[in-house]
Amino acid sequence: MRMPGPAAFLPTRDAHRPKSVTAYKPDRKAAPERGATPPSPIPRPQPEGRDRAAPQIRRGEFYRHVAASLRDHAVSTSSLVVAERITRHAEEIVPVRFRQPHLTFISWHTGFGPYEADIADQRVSMPAGARPKLVVLPPRAAILGEFHLTGLCQYDVFTIDPALVHAQGRSLLERALIFEDDALLASMHALIEWQHDPTFSLMAEGWALQALARLPGVAPPAPSLQRRIERPGLLQIEDYIAANLDRRIGTIELADLLSMPVSRFAAAFRLSTGQSLSRFVRARRLERAEVLLRATDWPIAWIARSVGYAGIRYFAERFRRHSGLAPEAYRQRTRG
């Protein structure tokens, strides 16, 4: 199915919808004229999601202590997933204490020598020269041990809200997993590289669903037939995305529009459109940017923010990959 261009600048399609479908109706506006005043600054997108009651957590119940100097800490979040890349420095044996309320993936990259630790009550040791393995901790499981760091060390910590596991119809891990999975490690590294992209929320939640499917020992969801999203539902999703391109959009809020489980919605969307949610939303953002570059004299920075990109440099890079031209070059060429 060929998807239409930027919905924000198309005539309304509500007249073609079945009356039984309650559609989200964005405030559609014509493309702004050249010379129009740019919009007011748009704040940096923040993760969104449904409100949840705060869990009852006792003081000191959860902790993260690594006795090495912190050199860098990059954090990206969605409503259900937090991805962190951490760089520390030490040339000695350091104590590590870790316990979190969420399902946690830990991937050690560089700078780690031998270690001995109790990981969720399992005694684990890694000799010098051994390849570090991926560790997956159940919620509330702990790591307590000593790690020999050999200078700069880097590791990733990804956490998944247990609500996503339950929404998939899966049961949580009952014990820690320590194993090798090159594909899963590669997917974690790749996701970190997209941390500045406004579609990060969708990509992170898509990654989480795939990661859960790869875990040994996690009960699979109950079998169900894959179904497509009907045309009225797709139009509703398109309209909602078009009206919210200036911020991050999460999988939960899109699934809620159609009252579908998150895991089923992501699969149904791909089946119906031939694209992942993140790829579809990214294309809509960049198509909207093309329209604004052709139709307005707005500064590139304003256009970037209006389609959800907080940084102009990253926006220019993504736009060049999409259109083959830098934003300013695209504007000049399309205006003749």
**Secondary structure class of 117 (helix, strand, coil):** strand
Provide the residue-wise pLDDT of the chain in tens; the chain has 336 residues: 444 443 333 333 343 333 333 333 444 444 555 555 555 443 333 333 333 333 443 556 899 998 899 999 999 888 889 999 999 998 888 999 999 999 999 998 888 878 888 888 888 888 777 777 889 998 889 999 988 888 889 999 999 988 777 766 556 677 888 888 888 888 998 898 888 888 888 889 889 888 888 886 554 444 455 678 888 999 999 999 999 999 988 888 898 899 888 778 888 898 899 888 888 999 999 999 999 999 999 999 999 999 999 889 999 999 999 999 999 999 999 986
| Same-domain check for residues 233 and 312 | yes
Q: Nearest 5°: phi and psi at 333? A: -70, -40
| Same-domain check for residues 32 and 150 | no
Q: Nearest 5°: phi and psi at 27? A: -80, 100
Instruction: With respect to residue 118, please indicate whether it lies within any of the assigned structural domains.
Output: yes
Q: Which amino acid is it at 102?
A: H
- The helix (run of H) or strand (run of E) holding residue 39 is none
Which domain CATH number covers 188?
2.60.120.10
Tell me the C-alpha distance between 87 and 71, whole Å: 5
| Same-domain check for residues 242 and 172 | no
Longest dimension (CA), the chain: 69
Instruction: With respect to residue 310, please indicate whether it lies within any of the assigned structural domains.
Output: yes
Instruction: With respect to residue 108, please indicate whether it lies within any of the assigned structural domains.
Output: yes
CA distances to 50, 57, 104, 110, 185 from 53, in Å = 10, 12, 21, 38, 32
Domain total for the chain? 2
Q: Which amino acid is it at 24?
A: Y
| Contact predicate 119/145, CB 8 Å | yes
* Residue that terminates a domain, selected from 177, 196, 215: 196
> pLDDT value at position 14?
40
List Cβ neighbours of 226 (8 Å cut-off, separation of 6 or more).
267, 268, 271
Tell me the C-alpha distance between 153 and 233, whole Å: 47
The token pair that represents 311 in the structure block: 């940084």
Which domain CATH number covers 235?
1.10.10.60
Q: Nearest 5°: phi and psi at 142? A: -125, 155
**Secondary structure class of 86 (helix, strand, coil):** strand
Tell me the C-alpha distance between 277 and 265, whole Å: 10
> pLDDT value at position 223?
47
**Secondary structure class of 192 (helix, strand, coil):** helix
| Same-domain check for residues 98 and 134 | yes
How many other C-beta atoms lie within 10 A of the C-beta of residue 134? 19
Per the confidence metrics, is the pTM higher than 0.75? no
CA distances to 193, 281, 292 from 287, in Å = 22, 10, 9
| Same-domain check for residues 239 and 320 | yes
> pLDDT value at position 12?
37
The residues facing 118 across adjacent strands are 123, 144
| Same-domain check for residues 84 and 187 | yes
**How crowded is the C-beta side of 46, counted as CA atoms within 13 Å?**
3
| Contact predicate 135/176, CB 8 Å | yes
| Contact predicate 155/104, CB 8 Å | no
User: Which residues form the domain of 261?
Assistant: 17-39+228-334
Measured between alpha carbons, how far apart are the two ends of the chain, in Å? Answer: 32
The residues facing 125 across adjacent strands are 116
